[in-house]
Amino acid sequence: MEHGVGALGYLWARLPMLLLFSSGYLVYRMLAVTRLTDAFVAWALNRSQGRLSTLLLYIIATAAFISAFMPNAIAALTLLPVLKVIDEDFRAQGGGPALTTALTVSAIYGAGIGGMASLIGSPANLILLAALDLYQVPGREALNFFNWFLWSLPLTVLFVLAAWGVVAGLGLPAKARSIRACVEGLCEIKPLTHAQRSGGLVFAFFLGYWILEAVLAETWPGFAALRPAAALGFGGLFCFFLFVRPPRLPRDPSRAPLIAPLDVLRGWPKRGLVFLGLLVCVVAAVRAFDLDRAAADLVRSALGPGLPWGAVFVALVLAVIFLTEVLSNTAVVAAFFSIAFFLAQARAVDPLPIMIAVSIASTCAFMTPIATPCNALAFGEMKGTSLWRMVALGAVLNLIGGLLLSFWLIWAVPLVYG
């Protein structure tokens, strides 16, 4: 009996996370069924005046915004219908794998970058808070949800611009940079249908609730006990809007359901789930053979006392970034927080900047399909994405990001928390 009560208690506590991922999948299907993605594509094409490079910037920035407040896999799910619409029409006009890869990595880059934008953007940040308490790091008391934005938002903007530069400058063929894209049937902004307007309200409800839920969980200690019940209430209302009667604007007469139960079973991201399974296998192998600890010990032995602190900082950040391409990012940060703390202590410097840097660096896995669930979903579902091009572009952004991240945090974190 006690075992059953314990299992039910665990499921009740994890209910918000389960509902987040299940509602995220339902949003993914709703966007596809209502073709609300067509409206976004039309808007983006018009705003960008058909320039592919500008369109990629919209994709990166949108993914970054969504993943700042919810898991990057959810960001990938909500953007996949958009990417597929653009990719299919570009292919019909003669676009090749280079354009597919550029679209895929734009979503991956944006989702990874968004993880650093807020304190709740990445699970690694939660481990960071625990590590700061464990090692009694000075300045940890000043770190909160709101002042995180003081240094993270400028860094996020710089990362978005860097990612855009890599994709548009290196990821697009020279002849594609000057193309004025006009996706067939989407070159003009058309009035939204009743279903699309209702779908937009449901999507806003989805984003609004989970952003508010994340903020309350971080800023209101008493909300923890209410989270499962609040999430259950959201889930019931959300399903009512999708399957029974959607919200509508005053002039919308239609109250037809947005999606049917069978729509949920169609369009499963099968290839993406295959890569997710591969990612699970990699994580299991890492933990079984203790590879994360072996890698951490190797890095620690390489960072001898003769290196200047700036070089140690950059080397540690780059080690975390590249190791998360093949190892679990949570395993990497768990091993590297202790390295960062004791290296800082040995050099008599503030450990807070480098421990924050380790957490942020673990979200910058831009190279491989098995680095994160977002990478796996996007690579698996965007057929024709070039693996070698993805790896090459990701390696460039990893290097740029590692340097940018290191120098920014060395300068900005002491200003905010010093």
- Average pLDDT of the chain is 80
pLDDT band at 336 (very low <50, low <70, confident <90, very high): confident
| Averaged pLDDT, 220-249 | 88
Same domain, 16 and 86: yes
Q: Does one domain contain both 255 and 195?
A: yes
Q: What is the mean pLDDT of residues 230-244?
A: 92
pTM of the model: 0.75
Give the count of domains, the chain: 2
Tell whether 151 and 94 lie within a shared domain.
Answer: yes
Domain check: are 72 and 153 in the same one?
A: yes
Give 93's pLDDT tier (boundaries 50, 70, 90): low
Whether the pLDDT of residue 121 is over 60: the answer is yes
Most confident of 25-34, 53-62, 163-172: 163-172
**Both 253 and 104 in a single domain?**
yes
- Whether residue 323 lies inside any domain: the answer is yes
- What pLDDT shows up at residue 356? 94
Let me know: does 218 contact 119? Beta carbons within 8 Å.
yes
Does any domain span residue 255?
yes
The reply to whether 130 falls in a domain is no
Averaged over 320-339, what is the pLDDT?
82
- Domain identity same for 46 and 105: yes
Per-residue pLDDT band at 300 (split at 50, 70, 90): low
Query: In this structure, is residue 318 part of a structural domain?
Result: yes
Final residue in a domain of this structure, among 265, 299, 322: 265
Residue percentage of the chain with pLDDT more than 90? 20
Please report, rounded to a whole number, the percentage of residues in the chain having pLDDT higher than 70: 77
pLDDT at res. 410: 93
- How does residue 130 score in pLDDT terms, banded at 50, 70 and 90? confident
pLDDT band at 1 (very low <50, low <70, confident <90, very high): very low
Rounded CA-CA distance 360/290 in Å is 23
Rounded to a whole number of angstroms, the distance between the first and last alpha carbons of the chain is 51
Residue 302, domain extent? 270-417
Same-domain check for residues 259 and 338: no
Domain stops at, among 265, 282, 310:
265
Residues 280 and 393 in one domain: yes
**Does position 108 have pLDDT exceeding 80, yes or no?**
yes
Are residues 408 and 151 in contact, defined by beta-carbon separation less than 8 angstroms? yes
Amino acid letter, 337: F
Same domain, residue pair 310 and 257: no
Q: What is the mean pLDDT of residues 294-315?
A: 76
Check pLDDT > 70 for residue 347: yes
Is 134 a domain residue? no
| Residue 127 maps to a domain | no
* Structure tokens, 66: 């969504």
What DSSP assignment string belongs to 182-244? Answer: --TT-SSPPPPPHHHHHHHHHHHHHHHHHHHHHHHHHH-GGGGGTHHHHHHHHHHHHHHHHHT
Please tell me whether residues 205 and 350 are part of one structural domain: no
Return d(Cα 316, Cα 324) in angstroms, integer: 12
Q: Give residue 274's pLDDT.
A: 62
Looking at the structure, do residues 306 and 255 belong to the same domain, yes or no? Answer: no
Whether 61 has a pLDDT exceeding 60, the answer reads yes
Per the model's pLDDT, the better-predicted residue between 294 and 385 turns out to be: 385
Of 230, 265, 300, which closes a domain? Answer: 265
- Asked, for residue 42, whether it belongs to a domain, the answer is yes
In a domain, 135, yes or no: no
pLDDT digit string, tens, across residues 358-390: 999 988 889 988 888 888 888 888 888 899 999
Residues 226 and 298 in one domain: no
